[in-house]
Amino acid sequence: MAKLNGKIALITGGTTGIGLAAAKRFHEAGARVFVSGRNPKTLDEARKVLSKDVELILADSGKLPDLDRLVSELKTRAGRIDVLFVNAGIANFLPAEAADEAHWDDIMNVNLKGPFFLAQKALPLLGKGASVLFTTSVAGQRGFASTAVYTTSKAGLAGLARVLAAEWAPRGIRVNSIAPGPIATPIYSKLGLPAKDLAGFELSMQQRVPLHRFGVDDEVAKAALFLASDDASFITGEELFVDGGLAIA
């Protein structure tokens, strides 16, 4: 039986990479899927590859008025949310001593502040049996040099997920995180690194990962489908690493 039959799912940042793969998986699994993204161009491109049943909404995950509008759209169109996959995120890496306030705010607004307020604003639409997932990162568990603000955002998100799991368990809402390791998605092309440096970074990551490769977006999407579905009905407060073993390397 389809694992998300009859469920309403919202995936933020579902226009490329992990979110896009999850949108495909969740739709195949029987969910009515809503996808948000901030970029009209990537929203249009996602429109072309996703089923016409998937509903796309332009909303910036780092802007609170957009999150109000997003939740209000879900309320009007679907009346509830059964699976909230808070996945939108950005990466930008600087050593701590070089990180200024703009760097902090850019990352924190999308990776931590937006997820906190989206979860809070969506709560009235989450009922008994709902599943909330946050995309954290293996970085939040490790201490990779030159990733201070990104790592802080993801470690904070993992903490938030555990708190919400405790606070919302009495309502029958499960809250978990998925922590990807290096996954081949467009996020790396947005780092602004010269091609040579990017290639060097990718090679060094492959060598560090015990399974000696990057993951693919669908490997994360399958884990998200598991945690979103009733197959994970007794799992809450968990952070599932989909990282080829990097967290323990």
Ligand X SMILES: NC(=O)c1ccc[n+]([C@@H]2O[C@H](COP(=O)([O-])OP(=O)(O)OC[C@H]3O[C@@H](n4cnc5c(N)ncnc54)[C@H](OP(=O)(O)O)[C@@H]3O)[C@@H](O)[C@H]2O)c1
| Footprint of ligand X (CB under 6 A) | 12-19, 36-39, 42, 60-62, 87-91, 110, 135, 137, 180, 182-183, 185-187, 190
The one catalytic residue in 26, 34, 93, 150 is: 150
DSSP state of 217: H
- Which residue lies nearer to ligand X by CB, 18 or 223? 18
Contact 144, 204 (CB under 8 A): no
- Which residue lies nearer to ligand X by CB, 111 or 236? 111
At closest approach, how far in Å is the CB of 78 from ligand X? 19
188 catalytic residue (yes or no) = no
At closest approach, how far in Å is the CB of 40 from ligand X? 9
Contact 62, 89 (CB under 8 A): no
At closest approach, how far in Å is the CB of 125 from ligand X? 19
d(CA 12, CA 8) in angstroms, rounded, equals 13
d(CA 40, CA 18) in angstroms, rounded, equals 18
At closest approach, how far in Å is the CB of 128 from ligand X? 27
| Burial class of 143 by CB neighbour count within 10 A (0 to 12, 13 to 18, 19+) | exposed
Contact 30, 2 (CB under 8 A): yes
- Which residue lies nearer to ligand X by CB, 16 or 176? 16
Q: Catalytic positions, please?
A: 150
